[in-house]
Amino acid sequence: MHLDSSIILRKFPLFSDLSDEEYHELNVSDNYKEAKKGEFIYFEAYQHQNIYFLKSGIIRLGYLDGLGNKVIKDILKPGDFFGQVSLEKENLGGEFAQAGKEDVSLCSFTLDSFNRLLLNKPKLAVKYSKISGFRIRRFENRLQNILQLDVKTRLKLFIEQLLTDVKDRAKWLGKEVRIPNYLTHEEIAQLIGTSRQTVTTLLNAFDDEHVFSFSRKEIRFFNKENNFGK
């Protein structure tokens, strides 16, 4: 795939204010990568020295438990970044990053080259710090929900957030809206801190209540108002 290097990172808030000349200096086209669905960007990484910016597709971040089972700890969407996000040569603790149900495209930088970029562009460094802070708050909110909310409320909030996250891909039919689904019951269970059986039971209940329906390919929300453009 041949892409104009000046638009590859336009999706990312971090790079949105750079001039065309500054985009050119990033050598984006040299760092552009693609991965097929299900392919691992890295697997059981420890001293992995790259940071990645996801342009399209979905990335599953996780690790292997003591029995060798994959445990999903986050689902990343276009605009997110992963890898050595702390910008230090720390241990990733055996983390893996895997493309989801579709091919992904991303831009990668070595840790050293990205640190040099931030050193030469202080405004970019400040922006990266703010975005990283938002990312940390997102994790904290999820943990707080697990500790304070009942599982049915956690599941409803989680599914509603999916609609917000992919609103640009939503299809509206009156008060019904449909979005693509890229998660399994097991992955949702891991992300909201419950069992797969509980997720399945509650999803069926929400379907019976005509709140939303969940299938392998899509999620359908009922009686929704399209407020995203307001």
DSSP letter string, 45-81? ESS--EEEEEEES-EEEEEE-TTS-EEEEEEE-TT-E
Instruction: Report how far residue 59's alpha carbon sits from residue 69's, in angstroms, rounded to the nearest whole number.
Output: 18
What is the torsion angle, in degrees rounded to the nearest 10, for the CA atoms of residue 88, residue 50, residue 127 and residue 133? Answer: -60
**Same fold: 13-142 with 149-221:** no
Q: Where are the domains of the chain?
A: 13-142, 149-221
> What tokens were used for 167?
């609103």
pLDDT at position 1: 41
Mean pLDDT of the chain: 86
pTM above the 0.95 mark?
A: no
pLDDT average, residue stretch 20-44: 81
**What is the homologous superfamily of the domain 13-142 according to CATH?**
Jelly Rolls (2.60.120.10)
**Residue type (1 letter), 118:** L
pLDDT by residue (tens digit) across 50-73? 999 998 889 999 998 888 888 899
pLDDT by residue (tens digit) across 89-134? 777 778 999 999 889 999 888 888 889 888 988 888 999 998 888 8
Tell me the CATH class for 149-221: mainly alpha
